[in-house]
Structure 1
Amino acid sequence: MTSKLHTEVLKVDSGSISFNADGTAVDISDPETRANLQKAADILNTTSHAIGFPSETVYGLGGSSLSDESVKSIYAAKNRPADNPLISHVSSINQLQRKLLVPGQKIPDIYEPLIAKFWPGPLTILLPMPADLTSSPISQLVTAGQSTFAVRMPKHPVARALILLADLPLAAPSANASTRPSPTTAAHVFHDLQGKIPLILDGGPCDVGLESTVVDGLSDPPMLLRPGGISLEQIKQAGGPRWSNIVLAKKTAGKLEPVRTPGMKYRHYSPTAKVVLFTNCGDGKQKVGDYIAENNLAGKKIALLRTRNFATAAEISPLITLDSPLGQSGDEIQHNLFSSFRDLDDQNYDFILVEGVDETDEGLAIMNRLSKAASETING
C-alpha cells in the first residue's frame, strides 16, 4: 500500500514572471515565487512525484514526459486509465526540439501558422513518433504506445516558468481525480489529490476554464480531435488554405479503439450530482418543468445552470433550489462551467439541469464537455 504524502500548497505570483522573446530565459522578480517554483522544479528533477500547477486552461498534474516512473505517478494519482494518452507541455520551441524530437526531426510546416498565432496558448498539436518507438526520448506511457505524441506550449506564466526551470517537458493531464470535473483552482486540486502528490502551486483561478484544443495536421484532411480554448473558426482563419477543410473527429471513441488525445474515450467532467443537458428547449419552461414533474424531483436539491435563453428558475418551477447563470458569452460560460460543477458538488446537489448552447465558436467545446458530463440529454 502506498504511503500517504503531505500535500503542500504554495502561492506563486504570475505577475512577477516574464520571459525573453524565444522563451528560453525567465525573470522572476518576486523572491517567494522564485523559491516556490524552484522547489517544484527540484521535486520534478529529483523524484518521480507529480505536482499540481496552474495553466491558462485548467490546473495540470505534471510529471516528466521522459520518465516512466513519473508518468506512472500521474496515472496513479488520478486513477486514470493507462490507454488514455497524455499531452506534453514545453516552455519553448527550443525545448521541444532538444527534449522531445529525435535528431533531424522537424515540426511539420502545416503547423507553422498555428504555432505563430496560438503558441504559447491553449492549442495542442500531434507530432509523429519515430518508426522505432524506443529511439524516442518520450516515455511510451505518455503516448500509450501510439505512433504520435501530443504537445503544447502553455501561456500561463507559472506553468511555463516551471517547465523552463526544470528544463523538463511535462506530461500533464488535468489535476483532478479521473472522471471528475476539471479543476480551475488550487483548492479543487487539493480536494481531489490531497495525500497523493507532494505539492500544488497556487496561481489563482484559471482564465479559460476548458482544456486545450487538439488538432492533427498529420492526417489529410487535418482533424480537430478535441475542441477547447481555441475555436474551430479560429483554427480555420489562422491556418489558411491547408486548414480550411479541417474535419471533426467523432466525439467518443469505441471501447476497443485506440485514442490519440485525452477526452475521446472515457466519461469525463462529471460531478457527483446527476447532470441533465437541455438542448434547443427555448425558454426551458415546458421541457425543464416537465422533466422535474415526470421524474418526481420534489424534495431533491436541484440547480439550474442557465446560459442565453432560459427563463429564471422561479418562472420554470418552484422546486428548483438554485438559479445560477453561467453567463452570456462563450468566454464566460466556459470559464464558469467546471467551477460551477465543483461548487454544486460541495453543496451536495442531487440534480444539475444545464441549458446547452449553439455549437459555434466556443460553443463547440462547451457542448463537448457538457455532453460527456451529462447522464441524460433532453432535446427540444
Structure 2
Amino acid sequence: MNGNQLDTAAKIIQQGELVAFPTETVYGLGADATNESAVKKVYQAKGRPSDNPLIVTVSSVSMVETYVASFSDDAKKLIKQFWPGSLTMIFKLKPHALSKTVTGGLDTAAFRFPNNQLTLDLITKAGVPIVGPSANTSGKPSPTTAQHVYHDLNGKIAAILDDGPTTVGVESTVLDMSVDTPSILRPGAVTKEDIEAVIQRPVMDELHHVGMSQTPKAPGMKYKHYAPDAQVYIVDPDDNWQEVADWIGAHQQPVGVMAFNDVINSIDWPKNTDVISLGDDAKSAAHDLFAELRDFDNHKQYKIVFAQGLKPTGIAEAYMNRLNKSAGQMHFKQL
C-alpha cells in the first residue's frame, strides 16, 4: 500500500463513501462515523438491521474523548493495557455526540482502537472516526481476507484496503463499561481472565444475547450471525467422532468436517467427506473458523458441516460463541 492509495482511501471516507479496512481480527467496513448518510450506506451495503449498533473505530484515545464524557479508572487501566488491540469498550456518550444511526438509538457507543497500522493511518488521514462492522453480508461468516470482502461486497463499496489475512480471525471482545459491573457482551481474544487481571475485580460474562424486542448494545447479540449456506452441526467434546463418520458413511451427499488434526488422523473417513483442519488448539481454531466456513460456502454441494466443539475457556469461548451462532445451536446428537 503506497501513500497515494492511502490518501485516496482517506478522501473516499471524507466524501461519504465506503472503504473496507483490515484489522488484526477481521476486515471492517468503514464510513465516516460523523456523517449520517455515509453510515446509512453501511447498513444498506451489508443488509444489516438498523437497530444493530455499529462499533466506532478510532486511531487515538483523544478521538474517543471527543464523544465520551469521561473514563473510569478501570477504563483507563484497560486502555493502557489493551489499546491498540482487540478489545472494544462501550461508554456513555456526551449528549448528541453521535447519530442514532450509529448507536441504534442508545446513549452509549462501542469504541475500538485496532492494532493495524494501515487502518490507523487511514483514520488519521481522514480526520474522523469510522464505523467498523465486519465487511461482509449481514449474517454470513465474517471476512478474514480482502478476497472475502470482494466476494460479498463487490459493487457495493468504493474500495478495499488489502493488508493480507488477519491474525486473530474472530471479532474483538466487546466490554460494556457503561454499567456498574463491566460486562462482556461478545467474547474475543481478550478474555475475561485477561480483563480481571488488569482491573482486579470480577467481570460479568453471561450477557451474549438479547430478546427480539430489545436493542442490542453490541453487534452479534440479537440476529443470526456467521452462518454459511450449509447447516453446521457442533460435535461436542463428549461425542464420539467415529459415530460422526458412521453417520456420514450412511448418507450419500458430500459432508464437510472441521476438526483438530488428532481427530482427523484418528478416523478412516468415508469417501464423501471433505475434511478441513482446525489446527491443533483453540487459538488456531478461532483463527481459521470463518475462513473455513466460507470455503464450504464456495462449494454449494455441501448441505451439512460437522464442526468440533470445545470447552468454552479462554479464546475457546470466543470460538464457541461464533460456532454456536453459525450452527443456530444445532448439535450432532440432535440428528
Question: Structure 1 length normalisation: TM-score?
Answer: 0.83
State the partner residue of 2:70: 106
Q: 2:231 aligns with which of 274, 277, 296?
A: 274
Q: 1:70 aligns with which of 30, 38, 41?
A: 38
Shift of the 95–182 alpha-carbon distance from structure 1 to 2, 3 Å rule, reads same
Q: Distance in 2 between matches of 1:76 and 1:83?
A: 13
| Partner amino acid, structure 1, of 2:146 | A
State the partner residue of 1:5: none
Q: 1:254 aligns with which of 196, 207, 211?
A: 211
Q: Distance in 2 between matches of 1:35 and 1:188?
A: 24
Alpha-carbon shift at residue 291 of structure 1 (Å): 4.4
Residue by residue over 1:162-213, the C-alpha shift from the partner in whole angstroms, topping out at 9 and shown as x without a partner, is 1111111111100000111000011100000011001011111111100000
Shift of the 308–128 alpha-carbon distance from structure 1 to 2, 3 Å rule, reads farther
Q: Which runs of 5+ in 2 are unaligned?
A: none
1:1-380 superposed matches below 5 A: 12=1, 33-46=2-15, 48-98=16-66, 100-101=67-68, 105-130=69-94, 132=95, 135-136=96-97, 138-240=98-200, 244-286=201-243, 288-289=244-245, 291-292=247-248, 297-298=251-252, 300-307=253-260, 310-312=263-265, 314-315=267-268, 317-348=269-300, 349-375=302-328, 376-378=330-332
Residue by residue over 1:329-377, the C-alpha shift from the partner in whole angstroms, topping out at 9 and shown as x without a partner, is 2221111111111112112222211011110110000000000000422
Q: Distance in 1 between matches of 2:181 and 2:63?
A: 29
Greater Cα offset, 48-57 or 81-90: 48-57
Q: Distance in 2 between matches of 1:313 and 1:252?
A: 36
| Partner amino acid, structure 2, of 1:292 | I
The answer to whether the 8 Å contact 2:52/2:219 transfers is yes
Residue by residue over 1:253-286, the C-alpha shift from the partner in whole angstroms, topping out at 9 and shown as x without a partner, is 1110111000000110011111111112355112
Q: Distance in 2 between matches of 1:129 and 1:181?
A: 30
Q: Distance in 1 between matches of 2:258 and 2:221?
A: 25
Alpha-carbon shift at residue 310 of structure 1 (Å): 2.8
Residue by residue over 1:67-87, the C-alpha shift from the partner in whole angstroms, topping out at 9 and shown as x without a partner, is 110110100000000000000
Q: Which runs of 5+ in 1 are unaligned?
A: 1-11, 13-32
Q: Distance in 1 between matches of 2:333 and 2:204?
A: 25
Aligned residues, how many?
Answer: 332
Q: Distance in 2 between matches of 1:65 and 1:332?
A: 33
Alpha-carbon shift at residue 311 of structure 1 (Å): 4.7
Alpha-carbon shift at residue 218 of structure 1 (Å): 2.5
| Partner amino acid, structure 1, of 2:61 | I
Indicate the percent of aligned positions where both proteins have the same amino acid: 37
Greater Cα offset, 59-68 or 323-332: 323-332
Q: Distance in 1 between matches of 2:228 and 2:85?
A: 27
SS of the equivalent of 1:247 reads: coil
The answer to whether the 8 Å contact 1:122/1:229 transfers is yes
The answer to whether the 8 Å contact 1:310/1:355 transfers is no
The answer to whether the 8 Å contact 1:126/1:148 transfers is yes
Residue by residue over 1:111-136, the C-alpha shift from the partner in whole angstroms, topping out at 9 and shown as x without a partner, is 11111111000101111023x4xx31
The answer to whether the 8 Å contact 1:313/1:320 transfers is no
Q: Distance in 1 between matches of 2:123 and 2:282?
A: 30
Alignment root-mean-square deviation, CA: 1.8
